[in-house]
Amino acid sequence: MPANAKTGVASGKRKRKCQSVVIPEQQQIFRGLVFFFFPNNDVSPLRRLRIQRAQDYGASWERTWGNNVTHVIVDKGLTFQDVLKHLGQETFPASIALVNESYPSECVKFRSVLSAMQSRFRVNGMAAPKAKETSPVDEPSSTASLAVKPARKEQRHQTPSESSGSQHAEELPEQEIGKSAKETEAARETGRERDALDDMIEEAKAVNHLPLEPFDSHDEDTTAEVSENEASDTSESRHAEKKRRVLDKEDKAADAWQQKFTCMQKHDSKSNADNPNNRTIAVLQQMLDYYSRTDDHWRTIAYRKAISALRRQSKKIATRSQALAIPGIGQRLADKIEEIVFTNRLRRLENANATPEDHILQLFLGVYGAGITQASRWLAQGYKSLEDLRAKAPLSQQQRVGVDHYYDFSQRIPRREVEAHGTIVRTAVQKADPEMQVIIGGSYRRGASDSGDVDLVITKPGAKIEYIRTMMIETVVPGLFRQGFLQASLANTSLRDGSKWHGASKLPGGRLWRRIDLLFVPDAEIGAALIYFTGNDIFNRSMRLLASKKGMRLNQRGLYTDVLRGPQRANLGAGRLVEGHDERRIFEILGVPWRPPEHRIC
C-alpha cells in the first residue's frame, strides 16, 4: 500500500529527524507518482531525507513491489544487476522509470518531472538508451507546475525544407549537401546515442518559459548594474560558508541535498504564502536557479537580492517604477519584474477574458522594438490603436518604422524570398570585396520553410572586425540604400562594438518591407558566431549550459576555458579562448557529436 505518511524514521543515536517541508500543492511535481527506493528503507540518513523530500513534493513511497510503481530510485552504489536480482526478474519492466538517486533532487531543482532517460540518471550497469527513445514517464506532467509556455513560433512555422538548392549548398559547404532534410532527419533518428547535449537541451527546455535576458549572452555590460547589489550579499554568503564548515562530513552531504529544497522554498520571517508577489518570485527563483547553473555569479547575486526584497513587500509590485522604488532592485530587474507580471498575465489570459487593454497591449507589443515597458507606457498614455500611435504619439524614427510597417513585419518570409534578399546583399558585398562572404543564418540555416526575418552573417577569411565593419557601414550599406533595397536603418545598439546592423529591406518590385539583420563577424569568430546565429535559442542555451558544466564558457565569439568565476570575473576577463573559428571543433571540444543546423531545432 502506498505510504504517503511520514513513517519509518528508525531510531538510533545518529538519526537526524527529517523536517517535513510544506510545499504548496501546485509545486508538488511528484503528485500521482509512486516511488520505490532501492534499498527500499530509510535506514540511511541520506536516503531517509530523499524519501522525505520526495513525499513533500507529492510522491507516494511504495513499500512493496507492485505494478503501481512509477519510478525506482536506486542508490548510487548499487547496480542494475543488483536491482534485477533483488526483484527476481530477468528484465526490467519498460513501463517503470529506473533512475539513480540524483533524479528526485534534480526534478525538484527544475521544478518538473524530468525525462528518466537522461544519461546522468542512468543506474550503473544499465545500457545507454538511443536518442530517439523516450522515457516511460516523459514529461507530460513536467510543465504542469511551470508557467504557461508560449507557443513556439518555431514549431508552428518551421518545417525542414525539401530544397537544398545550389545557393544553400554554396553557403553550407560543410554540410550533407545533396541529402534532403528528410534524409538527414532520418539519419539522426536511427541509432545516435543520447549524449550530454540531449540532456542540456532538456534542461534548457525546462526553463524555456523563463524570460531570460534577450540574448542571454553573458555580455560584460550586464555585470555593471548588478554589481551594485553585491556588497550586502557577500556577508550572506560568508555566513552560509561558516555554517557549512561546522557540519560533520555526513551531515554536510545531507545538508547540501536538503539545501536544494530549502533554498527553493526560502522563506524568512516576513514572508508568507499569500505574498502577492509569489508568482513573480517563483519565476525569478527559476531564473536564479538557471543562472547559478551557468555559474553566472553577478546575475545570481542580483536575482537573490531582488527575490528577498520582493518577499518583504506586502503589495503587488507590477510596474517598473514600483519595482525601482524598492532598495535592492536595479533597472534591469525592475524591467524583468514588469515583464513577468504583464506577460504572465497576457499568456494566461483566455481570449474571452481579455480586457480591451490586454488586446491593446498585445497589439503594441508587436511594434518592432517595443518591449513591455514601452507598450505599457503607450497604454498608460491613453493610446488605443496603431492609428493613435501614428497620429499622436511622439515616436522615435525606429518606432515609426515599426508602426508604419506593423503588418509587413508580422508576415513570415518564404524561404525563397529569404534567399533572394541574401543574394542581393551578397552581390553588393562581393562587389566591394570579392573575398567577403555572406551566410544566411537564423531559422533559414536550420532549414525553415519560412522565417521571421533575414539573418545574414558577413565575414571574410583572415579579416578582422574593423575591416568588415568599415566595408559594410561605409560602402555596402549606403550602396544598398542607393539601389533601393534597404529601406530603413533600425536601432543598432545591441552589440557594443557595432558588429550588428538592423534594418528593413524590400525586393525590387516587392511590396513588403522585411526585417533584415547584418552581422559582422571576424574570421577568428566565425564558428562560434555561426552556432549562435543559427540557434535556435534553446539549442544555444543548451550549448552554453554544456560549456559551463565543463568549466568552459561559450558565447557568440568563442569557446573559452580557464574561466574565472566569482566576484573577480569582471576584472580578470573571460578566460582563454580555445576555439572561435571552427564550428565543428567547438562541438568536438565540448565532447558532443556534430549537429548539422537542421538538427538544432529544439
Catalytic annotation, residues = 336
Sort 574 into a burial class: Cβ within 10 Å, 0-12 / 13-18 / 19+. Answer: middle
Is the separation of the CB atoms in 313 and 332 below 8 Å?
no
Task: By CB under 5 A, name the one of 199, 203, 419, 453 that touches Mg ion.
Answer: 453
* 449 contact, one of Mg ion, ligand DCP, none, CB 5-8 Å limit per kind: none
Nearer CB in complex with ligand DCP: 214/508: 214
* 100 contact, one of ligand DCP, Mg ion, none, CB 5-8 Å limit per kind: none
Nearer CB in complex with ligand DCP: 73/448: 448
Task: By CB under 5 A, name the one of 104, 442, 575, 596 that touches Mg ion.
Answer: 442
> Strand ranges (DSSP E) for 419-482?
437-440, 450-451, 454-459
Grid cell digits, residue 1: 500500500
* 533 contact, one of ligand DCP, Mg ion, none, CB 5-8 Å limit per kind: ligand DCP
Helix (H) or strand (E) holding 517: strand 514-520
Verify binding: residue 104, Mg ion, rule CB under 5 A. Answer: no
C-alpha torsion angle, residues 160, 166, 171, 175 (rounded to 10): 60
Chain position whose Cβ is nearest to ligand DCP: 535
Task: By CB under 5 A, name the one of 216, 455, 523, 579 that touches Mg ion.
Answer: 455
Closest CA to 337 of 294, 302, 290: 302
* 164 contact, one of Mg ion, ligand DCP, none, CB 5-8 Å limit per kind: none
* 536 contact, one of ligand DCP, Mg ion, none, CB 5-8 Å limit per kind: ligand DCP
Least distance to ligand DCP, CB of residue 215, Å: 5
Least distance to ligand DCP, CB of residue 538, Å: 8
Amino acid of residue 306:
A
Least distance to ligand DCP, CB of residue 158, Å: 7
Verify binding: residue 139, Mg ion, rule CB under 5 A. Answer: no
- Looking from the CA of 350 toward its CB, the CA atoms found within 13 Å total 2
What residues line the site for ligand DCP (CB under 6 A)? Answer: 153, 214-216, 442-443, 448, 451-453, 455, 532-537, 540
Nearer CB in complex with Mg ion: 45/503: 503
Is the separation of the CB atoms in 83 and 99 below 8 Å?
no
Which residue is associated with the grid cell 557540519? 247
Sort 601 into a burial class: Cβ within 10 Å, 0-12 / 13-18 / 19+. Answer: buried
Least distance to Mg ion, CB of residue 405, Å: 17
Closest CA to 504 of 590, 396, 406, 594: 406
Nearer CB in complex with ligand DCP: 104/597: 597
* 476 contact, one of ligand DCP, Mg ion, none, CB 5-8 Å limit per kind: none
Number of H helices, E strands in the chain: 27, 15
Nearer CB in complex with Mg ion: 569/600: 600
Helix (H) or strand (E) holding 165: none
Nearer CB in complex with ligand DCP: 82/219: 219
Least distance to ligand DCP, CB of residue 168, Å: 15
**CA-to-CA dists, residue 285 to 125, 172, 222, 403, 544, angstroms:** 36, 41, 18, 35, 20
Which residue is associated with the grid cell 525506482? 72
Per CB under 5 A, which region of 199-207, 245-253, 453-461, 475-483 contacts Mg ion?
453-461
Nearer CB in complex with ligand DCP: 80/215: 215
Span 381-440, contacts to Mg ion by CB under 5 A: none
Chain position whose Cβ is nearest to Mg ion: 442
Residue environment code for 144-173, b if the CB has 16+ CB neighbours within 10 A, otherwise e: ebbbeeeeeebeeebebbeebeebbeebbe
Chain residues that interact with Mg ion, rule: CB under 5 A: 442, 453, 455
